[in-house]
Amino acid sequence: MRINDYIIRKRLPFFFCAGCGHGISIKMLTEAFYELNIPKNNIVTVTGIGCYGKADDYIDTNTMHTVHGRALAYATGVKVANPKLTVVAMMGDGDSAAIGGNHLIHAARRNLGITALVSNNMNYGMTGGQYSPTTPYLSITATSPYGFPERALDLCELVIASGGTFVARTTVFHTAQLKKYIKMALQHKGFSFIEILSPCPTQYGKNNKLSSAPKFVEHLKEITSPVSKAKETGKIPIGILKETNDVLEYNDAYMQIVNKIKEKK
Give CA–CA dist 235/229, Å, rounded. 8
Residue 4 pLDDT level (bands cut at 50, 70, 90) = confident
Residue 104 within a domain: yes
Would the pLDDT of 11 be above 90? no
Residue 162 within a domain: yes
Q: Domain tally for the chain?
A: 1
The domain spanning residue 86 has which CATH number?
3.40.50.970
Residue 191 within a domain: yes
Domain that holds residue 236: 15-264
Residue 33 within a domain: yes
SS (H, E, C) the chain: CCHHHHECHHHCCCCCCCCCCHHHHHHHHHHHHHHCCCCHHHEEEEECCCHHHHHHHCECCEEEECCCCCHHHHHHHHHHHCCCCEEEEEEEHHHHHCCCHHHHHHHHHHCCCEEEEEEECCCECCCCCECCCCCCCCCCECCECCCCCCCCCCHHHHHHHHCCCEEEEEECCCHHHHHHHHHHHHHCCCCEEEEEECCCHHHHHHHCCCCCHHHHHHHHHHCEEEHHHHHHHCCEEEEEEEECCCCCCHHHHHHHHHHHHHHHC
Q: What pLDDT score does 2 carry?
A: 83
Q: What pLDDT score does 140 carry?
A: 97
pLDDT (tens digit per residue) in 93-130 = 989 999 999 999 999 999 999 999 999 999 999 999 99
CB 200, CB 20: distance < 8 Å: yes
Residue 159 within a domain: yes
Residue 2 within a domain: no
Residue 10 within a domain: no
Give CA–CA dist 218/214, Å, rounded. 6
Give CA–CA dist 105/84, Å, rounded. 23
Say which residues have a Cβ less than 8 Å from residue 81's Cβ, sequence separation at least 6: none
> How far is CA 69 from each of CA 72, 73, 166, 228, 253, rounded to the nearest angstrom?
8, 8, 21, 33, 26
CB 45, CB 62: distance < 8 Å: yes
Would the pLDDT of 216 be above 90? yes
pLDDT (tens digit per residue) in 152-168 = 999 999 999 999 999 99
Residue 7 within a domain: no
Lowest-confidence range among 8-12, 100-104, 144-148?
8-12
Would the pLDDT of 1 be above 80? no
Strand-pairing partners, residue 90, are 47, 117
